[in-house]
Amino acid sequence: MKDVSRERMAAQLLTGPPASAAVDVVERLLAVQAQDPRGTRLAIRARSAGLVASDVNRGLTQDRSLLISWLNRGTLHLVCREDYPWLQQLTTPQLLTGNTRRLAQESVTPEAADRGVAVLGRALENEGLLTRDQLRVRISAAGVRTEGQALVHILGLASLRGLIIRGPMVGGEQAFVLVRDWLGEIPAVDRDRALGWMARRYLAGHGPADERDLAKWGGLTIRDAIRGLRAIGSDLVHRDGGLVDLPRAEPAEEVPLPRLLGAYEPLLLGWRSREDFVPSHRERLIADNGLFRPFALVGGRAAGTWTFRGGAVSLNPFEPLAPGDGAALEADATDVARFLGGAAPG
């Protein structure tokens, strides 16, 4: 296995000491893709010890240490509450044009979209947290289209404007809340400082990498990615091939134990290329519609897909597994069932 791959897996907490809290995993990775609720929680499981899915729910609800919103590439991400203000201001303005285009495709005019955002803002102010279906009823009653993907993009617009986030869990569903009610007033953030913060935090969980990796992951332009890296240039270690990293205590030498990783696993989404981790069978792991399936990691590479139904894991290896690897994955399947315990939505 290439040294860079080993170092990236160590940065991702897939080797070395595991985290002991969900917030510690999210802090290391900075932002965890979150459109698949179970996959998000499984990303926490793979990098920690002793947690259960409900620990993530507690961070979203009681502790308010975690939240989910449309950030970075315009995809839902799980982040720490302290990181939301600068990530939101840095990564969302460039997403508004695309949001307007998608609303138009759903036959929602700019005026109707503004009315929908105003309605949901008043509803949340007057009633507190509300689920998506509850917001749908209120927005529809105002004569704004919510069919198809229209509601999603209206909610997205309110999120991009910094009005709402996905906050606490209500049963098995995550409710929406006003940012100011859940987090307080959000201070303005200097863009150049935020670029430096993103560069540093990205490398902490993804290094070694280069400016193109940072740009792709963060939804930045190449120019902004370069500006961010230059802002922390005195702290960088330069590597072959134009890669940079933060100083590490010692070189990564471990290969991760065989384990089961979830849908939209961060290991597949952090860099321009995933060839080191998915050298073959890509079509079985990543569907044409962009769906990233849960997969088994063996020897640092994808070795098969898996499903979880009826409280049990069903593994579909790409090739026959060595007995030791198969036994390790069976043990990890038991831990998946323990971790989920019926508490994770999706």
> Hey, which residues does 301 pair with through a beta bridge?
298
**For the chain, what percent of residues have pLDDT higher than 90?**
91
Q: Is residue 15 part of a domain?
A: no
Query: Is residue 1 pLDDT above 70, yes or no?
Result: no
Look at residue 185 and tell me if it is in a domain.
no
Residue 291 forms part of a structural domain: yes
Whether residue 278 is predicted with pLDDT greater than 50 in this model: the reply is yes
Q: Is residue 330 part of a domain?
A: yes
Q: Give the separation between CA 11 and CA 271, rounded to whole angstroms.
A: 13
pLDDT level of residue 252 (50, 70, 90 thresholds): low
Q: What percent of the chain has pLDDT over 70?
A: 97
Domain count, the chain: 1
Environment class of residue 32 by beta-carbon count within 10 Å: exposed (0-12), middle (13-18) or buried (19+)?
buried
Residue 136 covered by a domain: no
Tell which residue, 219, 223, 224, has the closest CA to residue 193. Answer: 224
Is the pLDDT reported for residue 48 higher than 80? yes
pTM as predicted: 0.95
Residue 244 corresponds to which tokens in the numbers above? 């940079």
Per the prediction, the chain carries an average pLDDT of 95
Instruction: With respect to residue 227, please indicate whether it lies within any of the assigned structural domains.
Output: no
Peptide bond into 279 cis (omega under 30): no
pLDDT digits (tens, 9 = 90+) for 95-135: 999 999 999 999 999 999 999 999 999 999 999 999 999 99
Q: Is 72 left (phi over 0), alpha (psi -120 to 50) or beta?
A: left
Q: Per-residue pLDDT tens for 140-154? A: 999 999 999 999 999
What pLDDT, on a 0 to 100 scale, did the predictor assign at position 254?
82
Q: Are strands 32-33 and 66-71 parallel, antiparallel or unpaired?
A: unpaired
CA distance 136 to 91: 26
Task: Tell me which residue range forms the domain holding 269.
Answer: 259-340
Q: Which helix (H) or strand (E) holds 316?
A: strand 312-317
* Residue 121 belongs to some domain of the structure: no
Q: Which residues make beta-bridge pairs with 302?
A: 297
Mean pLDDT computed over 163-171: 95
Residue 39: pLDDT over 60:
yes
Tokens coding 248: 């590490």
Q: For the purposes of burial, counting CB atoms within 10 Å of the CB of 76, is it exposed (0-12), middle (13-18) or buried (19 or more)?
A: buried
Give the pLDDT score at 281. 79
When pLDDT is cut at 50, 70 and 90, the band that residue 174 belongs to is very high
Under the banding of pLDDT at 50, 70 and 90, the label for residue 346 is very low
Lowest mean pLDDT among 63-77, 172-186, 210-224, 247-261: 247-261
HSE-CB of 266 using CA atoms within 13 angstroms:
31
| pLDDT tens-place string over residues 67-103 | 999 999 999 999 999 999 999 999 999 999 999 999 9
Strands of 301-309's sheet, edge to edge? 259-261, 295-298, 301-309, 312-317
Chain position carrying tokens 């315990």: 341
pLDDT digits (tens, 9 = 90+) for 13-36: 999 999 999 999 999 999 999 999
Asked whether the beta carbons of 306 and 314 are under 8 A apart, the reply is yes
Is residue 265 situated within a structural domain?
A: yes
